[in-house]
Amino acid sequence: MEQIGINIAQAAELMGISKQLMRKLTKEIDFPCIKFQRRIVINKELLPVWFKNHIGNFYVDY
């Protein structure tokens, strides 16, 4: 079975951004992740959909 949940480091590598920026993006209300206390699991299949839906958005001083 393929892994559907990935961690911050895996998602950052997949998106080509830093882990710090990925952590900040997980604070967005509609970001496809689940938080288990200190652990964050990101839905690997929904991440590209979220990215596509946010093309054109500009995040400053994140």
What pLDDT is recorded for position 1? 79
Any domain includes 17: yes
Whole-angstrom Cα distance, residue 37 to residue 58?
Answer: 29
Number of folded domains that form the chain? 1
Any domain includes 62: no
Amino acid sitting at position 46? L
pTM score, two decimals? 0.84
Q: Check pLDDT > 80 for residue 46.
A: yes
Any domain includes 24: yes
Any domain includes 59: no
DSSP annotation string for 10-56: HHHHHHTS-HHHHHHHTTSTT-SEEEETTEEEEETTHHHHHHHHTTT
Q: Which domain holds residue 41?
A: 5-53
- For residue range 22-45, what is the model confidence (pLDDT) as tens digits? 999 999 999 999 999 989 999 999
What pLDDT is recorded for position 33? 97
What pLDDT is recorded for position 61? 59
Q: Check pLDDT > 60 for residue 58.
A: yes
